[in-house]
Amino acid sequence: MGTIKLIICKNENEISDLASKIIVDLVNNKKKSNLGLATGSSPIGTYKKIIEKYNNCEVCLKHVRTFNLDEYLDLKKDDFKNSYEYYMDENLFSKTDIRKKRTFFPTMLGNKPNDDYSKFEDKIKKYGKIDIQLLGLGTNGHIGFNEPGSAIDTRTRIVDLAQSTIDSNSRYFKSKEDVPKRAVSMGLGTILEAEKILLIAFGKEKAEAIKNFFTKEEFHEDLPMSSLWNHKNVYIIIDEQAASKINKDKLSNFLIENE
């Protein structure tokens, strides 16, 4: 079996079921797990299912540590609701027993503001490594906020957002002018140090990036997702629409069944 395992699900619900199951199974086997978490619309269903499992007493999350991929910089003062910290509180943290002091963002370490991003990396290392890194996918192929042109060995740092990312993320803001132009993101090098990577994507907007990923079969700077070819344990969990442009002979090389 190759280093990349592709699972094609019928829809978003099936993707969320599978991703949440993988994460909950990990936490049930290792209660002090280190979870690398993502934002955007893609992981919302996964977080909902984790909350359901928590409410059904199928998992206890109070010992996990979470490390988020990225956070905006320069958000307007009254726009806290667009911060990824707020997103995580709303979509996961406040609805489970995850302890706030064990949640880490590149710009916050627990409850403390952080602008020395090497300290964020030190925090990950202090607890070993990230056991599972959950990733979404930008339409331009970005992961975290690592835009096209990011080098394979980049670490957590300030990044400029690509215009296509600003345009795409403007749906969450009052106007395009309100979208920050900068963020702090784990680097590709940081992401690749995780033990296991789960990338989830659905919808036809992601089909081109997914197709390009399978065409390249190695890292190219113009497609940050292609850095995942340098990792040994990657699950790409997508729906039929996102998979619709993958070359047929590539499919058989990487496709595995969703048991």
Identify which of residues 124 and 199 has a Cβ nearer to ligand GLP in the complex.
Answer: 199
Identify which of residues 54 and 84 has a Cβ nearer to ligand GLP in the complex.
Answer: 84
Catalytic residues: 70, 140, 142, 147
Question: Is residue 145 part of the contact set for ligand GLP (CB under 6 A)?
Answer: yes
From 19, 37, 40, 141, residue interacting with ligand GLP (rule: CB under 6 A):
40
Give the binding range for ligand GLP (CB under 6 A) out of 111-119, 131-139, 224-232, 241-249. 131-139
> What are residue 199's DSSP bridge partners?
135, 236
Neighbours of 77 (CB within 10 A): 5
- The whole-angstrom separation of Cα 39 and Cα 47 is 10
From 34, 165, 190, 241, residue interacting with ligand GLP (rule: CB under 6 A):
165
* DSSP letters spanning 105-165: ETTEETTEE---HHHHHHHHHHT---SEEEE---TTS-BTTB-TT--TT--SEEEEPPHHH
- The whole-angstrom separation of Cα 219 and Cα 201 is 19
Give the binding range for ligand GLP (CB under 6 A) out of 33-41, 126-134, 220-228, 235-243. 33-41
Which residue is it, tokens 């803001």? Answer: 173
Question: Is residue 169 part of the contact set for ligand GLP (CB under 6 A)?
Answer: yes
Identify which of residues 58 and 222 has a Cβ nearer to ligand GLP in the complex.
Answer: 222
Q: Mask: binding to ligand GLP, 65-84, rule CB under 6 A, as x and -?
A: ----xx--------------
Q: What is the dihedral of CA 128, 129, 132, 134, to 10 degrees?
A: 130
Q: Report the interhelical angle of 12-29 vs 44-55 (nearest 10°).
A: 50
From 36, 45, 106, 138, residue interacting with ligand GLP (rule: CB under 6 A):
138
- The whole-angstrom separation of Cα 117 and Cα 191 is 14
Identify which of residues 58 and 160 has a Cβ nearer to ligand GLP in the complex.
Answer: 160
Question: Is residue 242 part of the contact set for ligand GLP (CB under 6 A)?
Answer: no
